[in-house]
Structure 1
C-alpha cells in the first residue's frame, strides 16, 4: 500500500492518491484537477472512488474533474452533503470565491465505522469540530490515518468557519485519533506528515491529553 501527496491550490491543500497494485483511491482532490489526473495517469492506476474528509472549498475544487474523468463515486459525510453546493457553508464565499461540486453518490454517517472499496479497507473515524461532518480515514494496513483538517503537525484545525467548534474538535482528537497506535502516520489536509506519538509529545494544543 502506497500513497502520493499532491499539494494544490492557493492554500496548499494536500490531495492524496492511495494505491495498491493497479487500484487507487483519491482523498480530497482540492484543486488543480489536471495536475491530479496527470499524477494518477503517471502511476498507471485505476481510481475506484473519491473520499472527502470534509467539504470545505479547498478540499472539493477538483472533485468533479476527477469524478467525471474516471466515472467514480464520491463519498462525504451526510452532515455536509449540501456543503458541496453551498458556498457559505463550504467557506468559498468567505474568501470571495464560488467553489462547488456536484452531489455525492454515497453519504456516510457517524454509524459507518468501516468502508471497503476494492482492495482498500478503511476504518471511518468521526472527527467533527473543524466542521460538523469531518471524518478521518484510518488505513490500518498502511499504518496511516488521513485526518483532513482535524489534526496537523504541531497544530489542529481552525474552528472559526461555519459549524466549527474547538471543544468538539479537541474531544474528537482525544477520543478517536490519540487512541491510534503511536507509530501511526498522520497525513493531514495541509502541511507535513507527522505521527500520533509525535503529536502526543509535542502538540501545544493537546496538553493534558
Structure 2
C-alpha cells in the first residue's frame, strides 16, 4: 500500500494520499489549506488520480481545499454528517458534493477503509483504518490522537478519551498511527507512553 503524506497550511495539517500502489487511483484524506501545488506534485510523482476525498473532521485546516479540489477533479468529499455545519459558508453549491460517512467499510480506489465514529474533538470526528496486502495496519486519526498527546475536546468531559479507548486503543500494538498533525507513531507507543490514555484500550 502506498501512503504519501504532506503538510498543508500555516497549521501544517497532515494530508495523505492512499493507494494500492503507484500509477492508479487514490484517495485524498484531509484536503487542508492551500494544498494545490503540493497535491499536484505528489499526484504527478506517483502517477495517481484522485477518486474521492475523506475528512477525519470538518475543521478548516483539514478541509479548506475540499471545494477547490473537488471541483477540479470532479470528486466528492466523504464527511460525517455531524460535522457538515462546520464547513465554510462560501462552500456554496459544492456542498452538494458531500457524501455522508457511515459506519462500516468504504471501498474506494481499490482499498477497503474502515470508518469508526470517534466523537470528542468534534461531534463528527472519525478515524480511518486500513490493512495492506502484506498485513500491515494503519489508522488515520485526524485531530483525535497525536504522538504523545490527544486533541482538544469540544464534547462532553471524557468523550474523546472514551472514543479513543473504545475504537482506537483496541487496535494491535504494531498499528501505525497517522495523525492530523505531527509525526507518525504506533498504537503500542501510545499505549506505553501517552499520558492522556492511561488505562484505555486493551
Fold similarity call, TM over 0.5: yes
Other-structure match for 2:192: 201
Other-structure match for 1:89: none
Runs of at least 4 residues off by over 3 Å: 99-102, 163-166
Other-structure match for 1:47: 50
| Structure 2 CA distance for partners of 1:27 and 1:55, relative to 1, 3 Å | same
Deviations 1:160-200 (A, max 9, x none): xxx43451100011000011111000000000000000000
Contact 1:144 1:184 in 2 (8 A): yes
Offset of residue 37 of structure 1? 2.4
Question: Greater CA deviation, 37-46 or 71-80?
Answer: 37-46
Question: Greater CA deviation, 19-28 or 149-158?
Answer: 19-28
Identify the match of residue 174 of structure 1 among 165, 168, 188.
Answer: 165
Other-structure match for 1:155: 149
Task: Confirm whether residue 25 of structure 1 aligns to residue 27 of structure 2.
Answer: yes
- Distance, in Å, in 2 between the alignment partners of 1:208 and 1:191 is 24
Question: Greater CA deviation, 68-77 or 50-59?
Answer: 68-77
Runs of 5+ consecutive residues of structure 2 not aligned to the other structure: none
Contact 1:29 1:62 in 2 (8 A): yes
Identify the match of residue 75 of structure 2 among 72, 76, 79.
Answer: 72
TM-score, with length taken from structure 2: 0.89
Task: Confirm whether residue 106 of structure 1 aligns to residue 99 of structure 2.
Answer: yes
Contact 1:149 1:157 in 2 (8 A): yes
TM-score, with length taken from structure 1: 0.86
- What SS is found at the alignment partner of 1:50? strand
Offset of residue 42 of structure 1? 2.2
Aligned length: 192
Identify the match of residue 85 of structure 1 among 79, 88, 112.
Answer: 88
Contact 1:55 1:84 in 2 (8 A): yes
